[in-house]
Structure 1
Amino acid sequence: MWQHLYDPIGNAYVSALLAAIPIIFFLASLTLLKLKGLNAALLSLGLSVVVSIALFGMPFEKIASAAFFGILSGMWPIGWIVLMAVWLYKIAVKSGKFEVIRGSIASISNDQRVQVILIAFCFGAFLEGAAGFGVPIAICAALLVELGFKPLKAAMLCLVANAASGAYGAIGIPVLVGAQQSGVPLDALALMMIAIIQLSTLFVPALLIVILDGMRGLRETWPILLLIGVLFSASQSLILYLLGPELVDVIPPVLSMGALALFMQYWTPRRIYREEGAPEISDKRWSLPEVIRAWSPFYILTAVILTWSLPAFRALFAAGGPLAFTTIPFAMPALHLQIEELPPIATAARALPAMWNLNLISASGTAILISALLTTAFSSSITLRQSAGQLRQAFLELWKPLTMICLIMAVAYIANFSGASSTMGLALAESGQVFPLFSPVIGWLGVFITGSVVNNNTLFAHLQAVTAQQIGTSQALLVAANTSGGVMAKLISPQSIAIAAAAVNQVGKESEIMRITLKYSLGLLVYVCIWTLILSFLL
């Protein structure tokens, strides 16, 4: 049994700085050194191995097993989900449905500012609530490119839009895990989520318009920004308060899409905005049956994903369920229950599990696979052979970003199992009464490292609750801050960047997407930090 050592240098801040070397290098390599994502990930992985051995004294066989665990997790479920989502998109393109989809969107508005609210913000939020794991970025970024947006800008807009929905993820799991790990009552955590994140959600549509068309765009589109911002944020808050987090990213996006489509029948901006060089969309009008058929891949995807999310369906695959045999567990050698997490990260010394589960049917990627097969079967314009060809093409385009995701997951798992992530969190917790200012930074680091708000709350929700108790502030506030700060890192987490680059066919330009998105991630993080500190004084 190997135990975590959270302050190997004898100075919490120096230990944390050294533990952060792989993360700092990865950020610098993309933003300053302008390395390709795959090269940056490889070098960061090497640094992670060196730091784990030299700083924490982690045995090499445990480092190797943690890295392998991360690679497997990058392949399944993340890589599987991304590959299937891009395949579904390619089927829709190959079958000719996108010409009709473009036309149906143009019938709402030919203005690209309206289109980015409809697709990146509303539809992206719905896909986040239904599937999560990069699906909204992959699908919506590709849709925007088809509508004439420049690829890198399309990727960045979808990443920024995810700040409004990423806190609740697929069926509210991030918030549920935060409550479970911290011991904070779910209703108390929900109230604090409303207090912190919903204020920024109100202004995300306006931020998207400013990015796209500056202050002039803001002046020209303020009616729809007011409508969608208030309706989306208010309905999210109401559902979170009354029903809990499960439907927060399902019902509000649907309401917002419907309201926007209806509003645009009676109002139009005085100037139609189109990106320079964007092709004009044909003014041909399509019949309702044609539009319904064109959007069918996404109806099918929604229905299948929501079925996969139902408690009754998930129970089929739980331990003792009739389909439990379709989940194949694999205990990582030299790692499973062979590393102890210590207080204050855990309430008592706890052996860390390291089980990789190959859930063949219950995985979200399998749900998307079934959606793709059903879309092919119901489309007369694409054969099964052509559909298989699109899958092959998707794999050829994605193998590099998927490899990058696997390598970054290896870095994340080494950081988690070596205790490096906890070392950084504990150093920030040393700040005492001003800790609420830095509390969201822990969440930001957690998501940047792991790529997941769920994993971030698994890692740091308990630490936030313990620190809150020590400094005499609200535990629910700091757990909500951990979640909210984490969402702002989703904009630039390596996994999100890799998915966005692949979706817009810009593999190798991850550093450019990182550079143009980083300032928005940091700006939103600063807001969460300052607002959390103010709330800590008021509560």
Structure 2
Amino acid sequence: MFQQSLDPVAGSLGWSALVAAVPLVTMFVLLGVFRIKAHIAGLVGLVLSMLTAAFVWDMPIGQTFSAAGEGAFYGFFPILWILINALFVYKLTVATGWFEELGRVIRSISDDQRILAILIAFCFGALLESLAGFGAPVAITAAMLMAAGMKPLKAACTALLANTAPVAFGAMGAPILALAGVTTLPLDDLSAMAGRQTPFIAAIVPLLLVFMVDGKRGVRQVWPVALVAGISFGAAQFVTSNYLTVELTDVVAAIVTVGVVLGMLRLWQPKEGLPAEAPVLPQPVGAGNGVGVVGGDGGGTSNAGSNADRSNADKIARYSPGMRTFLALAPYLVIIVVFSIAQIPSVKSWLGDIGTTAFTWPGLDIANADGKELPQVFKLDHLKATGTLLLLSGLITAVLYKISPRRFVLAYRDTLVQLRWTLVTVAAVLALAYVMNLSGQTSSLGMALASTGGAFALLSPVVGWLGVAITGSDTSSNSLFGVLQVTAAREAGLDPLLMAAANSSAGVLGKMLSPQNLSVAVAAVGLLGAEGTLLRKLIGWSLGLLVFLTAIIYLQSTDVLGWMVP
């Protein structure tokens, strides 16, 4: 059995933490400073983490490779399984011409890009986050924003920034449920505490989205609806998480906010708009050589794509306006219906019973620094997995769109080709995360921050932020650092409930910077290799929001806002 050590470097926790940070710092510097492609930066970080695990933390070579294998497998399933099928659904709409029709439907609600950023990225993205999570909201909303005429890079940034406030309660409350599971703190209290932190972020995110889309002019002209959207979402999140149920927090918040915003737009409109441009379609992989999905059945030259576009337009024009609207929205309506049915308790239980496999990951025999064995049981959900439900949604969409089996297969193949480097990136980063976790490097980092005593109230949110930046998942970060937060809080004389919730609430602000989610965004908008550009554009927003929420959490640890702790 391999036993983790917290201070393998000269018996010093501080030096050990600095060494543990090397793989992460290297990866982010390669991405943001040297503009190295994400898959290369991820692989370099993985190699460094494995070398550090084996030669500094003394993890056996075989177990080091097994830990990397478990992380890579988790990267493929469920995370990449979600991304592949989310992007596949989008490609079906491109192949049939319904993507452009969706843009016309969206612009019929409003042709103001600032309003659309609030409705699509913030409201609809929150609904997708509540049902799916794990990158699907970013992939889908970024594509929808492009359909509405937003430039690809701006669409990616907007989708990533919007994917913050709902994440703590995303995937039907999975992050809070995981946090309650590892800390044994009461679920209702954790839900209530997180619901008294994330609304502060929700209240200002729509304003930030408007600023990102149109700068100061946008804020001056659209601040009323942005403020109403943020306050509505935050208030609904607070009420649902405190008095109803954690699982439906984001569902209720998203639906309430959409209703409020649409109602307000009937009474008020900005004096000047920011009209959407023509829809922007990412260049499909293989365009011009007969394999791109826009090229219909995949045969011939690039002219075949143009002919297919005209044919699609002719077919769409035959439908009545009402039916065109329904079919343009059909993929997303199907997703909502499929996921909602899958969350019905009896259906969810049935899917789990017939489609779940749990097994011990081979080659790992690990104990933590206290000598407690860490069993490595891998739970594989076949049927109720988000990616599987998205694939089912794609099959239903294909039937509605009357897509032939050949075009269906070609679209799926092109999706895999487009994501080939994203697959490498996500697998490498998750492998890195697992190696760091299982070798003890992550614990050394966390305990070094926790050793600061009362100042830990300022550093606790940073731990959660770091966890999500590494893993790309608030659920994973809560599983990783939840116990550490509670232990450190008790040692420092702080409220364990407050610090545990802070891990989840502040963690969401690191999601926009995680290499996995950057890869999801650039793949969705057809800007492969632009992860470093996105990182540089978003890091200021992420750190600024982290400072803001850290101040709130610190005040909640004092008499100033201490009354907010349940």
Indicate whether the TM-score tops 0.5. Answer: yes
Whichever residue aligns with residue 361 of structure 1, its letter is L
Superposition deviation, residue 278 in structure 1 = 5.2
Q: Are residue 161 (structure 1) and residue 162 (structure 2) matched?
A: yes
Whichever residue aligns with residue 117 of structure 2, its letter is V
Name the SS of the counterpart of 1:333 in structure 2. coil
- Whether contact under 8 Å (1:131, 1:305) holds in the other structure is yes
Partners of 1:26 and 1:160 in 2: how far apart? 21
Equivalent residue, structure 1, for 2:114: 113
Whichever residue aligns with residue 490 of structure 2, its letter is Q
Superposition deviation, residue 174 in structure 1 = 0.5
Superposition deviation, residue 191 in structure 1 = 2.9
Partners of 1:286 and 1:172 in 2: how far apart? 40
Equivalent residue, structure 2, for 1:498: 519
Name the SS of the counterpart of 2:168 in structure 1. coil
Q: Which moved more, 1:21-30 or 1:219-228?
A: 219-228
Superposition deviation, residue 199 in structure 1 = 0.9
Superposition deviation, residue 506 in structure 1 = 1.0
Name the SS of the counterpart of 1:467 in structure 2. helix
Equivalent residue, structure 1, for 2:37: 36
Whichever residue aligns with residue 389 of structure 1, its letter is L
Whichever residue aligns with residue 462 of structure 1, its letter is V
Superposition deviation, residue 279 in structure 1 = 6.0
Equivalent residue, structure 2, for 1:331: 360
Superposition deviation, residue 264 in structure 1 = 2.1
Equivalent residue, structure 1, for 2:50: 49
Q: Which moved more, 1:448-457 or 1:31-40?
A: 448-457
Name the SS of the counterpart of 1:356 in structure 2. strand
- Whether contact under 8 Å (2:147, 2:279) holds in the other structure is no
Superposition deviation, residue 314 in structure 1 = 2.8
Q: Which moved more, 1:463-472 or 1:126-135?
A: 463-472
Whichever residue aligns with residue 30 of structure 2, its letter is S
Superposition deviation, residue 286 in structure 1 = 7.3
- Whether contact under 8 Å (2:81, 2:387) holds in the other structure is yes
Superposition deviation, residue 317 in structure 1 = 4.5
Equivalent residue, structure 2, for 1:346: none
Equivalent residue, structure 2, for 1:361: 383
Superposition deviation, residue 194 in structure 1 = 2.6
Superposition deviation, residue 189 in structure 1 = 1.8
1:384 aligns with one of 405, 411, 433: 405
Amino-acid identity (%):
37
Partners of 1:215 and 1:373 in 2: how far apart? 43
Q: Which moved more, 1:156-165 or 1:384-393?
A: 384-393
2:340 aligns with one of 288, 292, 306: 306
- Whether contact under 8 Å (1:137, 1:158) holds in the other structure is yes
Partners of 1:266 and 1:97 in 2: how far apart? 31
| CA deviation map 1:405-458 (0-9, x unaligned) | 001111011001001111100000010011100001111111122211111111
- Whether contact under 8 Å (1:449, 1:493) holds in the other structure is yes
Partners of 1:267 and 1:279 in 2: how far apart? 26
Partners of 1:422 and 1:279 in 2: how far apart? 47
Whichever residue aligns with residue 291 of structure 1, its letter is T
Whichever residue aligns with residue 367 of structure 2, its letter is E
Q: Are residue 293 (structure 1) and residue 327 (structure 2) matched?
A: yes
Structure 1 length-normalised TM = 0.93
Equivalent residue, structure 1, for 2:250: 249
Equivalent residue, structure 1, for 2:425: 404
Whichever residue aligns with residue 395 of structure 2, its letter is L
- Whether contact under 8 Å (1:81, 1:365) holds in the other structure is yes
- Whether contact under 8 Å (2:83, 2:135) holds in the other structure is yes
Partners of 1:120 and 1:140 in 2: how far apart? 6
Equivalent residue, structure 1, for 2:66: 65
2:481 aligns with one of 435, 457, 460: 460
- Whether contact under 8 Å (2:100, 2:279) holds in the other structure is no
- Whether contact under 8 Å (2:103, 2:149) holds in the other structure is no
- Whether contact under 8 Å (2:104, 2:148) holds in the other structure is no
Superposition deviation, residue 29 in structure 1 = 0.6
Name the SS of the counterpart of 1:117 in structure 2. helix
Name the SS of the counterpart of 1:473 in structure 2. coil
Partners of 2:198 and 2:178 in 1: how far apart? 17
| CA deviation map 1:106-151 (0-9, x unaligned) | 1211000001111110010000000001000010111112222121
Whichever residue aligns with residue 452 of structure 1, its letter is S
Name the SS of the counterpart of 1:295 in structure 2. helix
Partners of 1:434 and 1:466 in 2: how far apart? 15
Name the SS of the counterpart of 2:246 in structure 1. coil
- Whether contact under 8 Å (1:100, 1:286) holds in the other structure is no
Equivalent residue, structure 1, for 2:368: 341
- Whether contact under 8 Å (1:103, 1:286) holds in the other structure is no
Name the SS of the counterpart of 2:491 in structure 1. helix
Residues 358, 179 of structure 1: alpha-carbon distance in 2 compared, 3 angstrom cutoff: closer
Q: Which moved more, 1:441-450 or 1:99-108?
A: 99-108
2:500 aligns with one of 476, 479, 488: 479
* Aligned-residue CA RMSD (Å): 2.0
Superposition deviation, residue 85 in structure 1 = 0.5
- For residues 124-139 of structure 1, what are the structure 2 equivalents within 5 Å? 124-139=125-140
Equivalent residue, structure 1, for 2:4: 4
Equivalent residue, structure 1, for 2:151: 150
Partners of 1:58 and 1:466 in 2: how far apart? 25
- Whether contact under 8 Å (1:85, 1:139) holds in the other structure is yes
Partners of 2:345 and 2:367 in 1: how far apart? 32
Whichever residue aligns with residue 270 of structure 2, its letter is P
Partners of 2:321 and 2:258 in 1: how far apart? 20
- Whether contact under 8 Å (1:328, 1:359) holds in the other structure is yes
Q: Which runs of 5+ in 2 are unaligned?
A: 281-316
Q: Are residue 207 (structure 1) and residue 208 (structure 2) matched?
A: yes
How many pairs does the alignment contain?
524
Partners of 2:127 and 2:473 in 1: how far apart? 18
Partners of 2:247 and 2:69 in 1: how far apart? 32
Equivalent residue, structure 2, for 1:218: 219
- For residues 74-85 of structure 1, what are the structure 2 equivalents within 5 Å? 74-85=75-86
Whichever residue aligns with residue 198 of structure 2, its letter is I
- Whether contact under 8 Å (1:308, 1:362) holds in the other structure is yes
Partners of 1:78 and 1:418 in 2: how far apart? 23
Whichever residue aligns with residue 341 of structure 1, its letter is N
Equivalent residue, structure 2, for 1:488: 509
Partners of 1:301 and 1:350 in 2: how far apart? 42
Partners of 2:225 and 2:130 in 1: how far apart? 23
Whichever residue aligns with residue 507 of structure 1, its letter is L
Superposition deviation, residue 3 in structure 1 = 0.6
Residues 61, 176 of structure 1: alpha-carbon distance in 2 compared, 3 angstrom cutoff: same
- Whether contact under 8 Å (2:359, 2:379) holds in the other structure is yes
Name the SS of the counterpart of 2:36 in structure 1. coil
Whichever residue aligns with residue 191 of structure 1, its letter is A
Whichever residue aligns with residue 314 of structure 1, its letter is K
| CA deviation map 1:305-337 (0-9, x unaligned) | 12223332232244xx3x1xx4344432221xx
Partners of 1:12 and 1:425 in 2: how far apart? 10
Superposition deviation, residue 302 in structure 1 = 1.0
Name the SS of the counterpart of 1:110 in structure 2. coil
Partners of 2:59 and 2:486 in 1: how far apart? 28
- Whether contact under 8 Å (2:198, 2:234) holds in the other structure is no
Whichever residue aligns with residue 371 of structure 1, its letter is S
Whichever residue aligns with residue 2 of structure 1, its letter is F
Q: Are residue 351 (structure 1) and residue 356 (structure 2) matched?
A: no
Q: Which moved more, 1:95-104 or 1:28-37?
A: 95-104
Partners of 1:175 and 1:427 in 2: how far apart? 25
- Whether contact under 8 Å (2:210, 2:219) holds in the other structure is yes
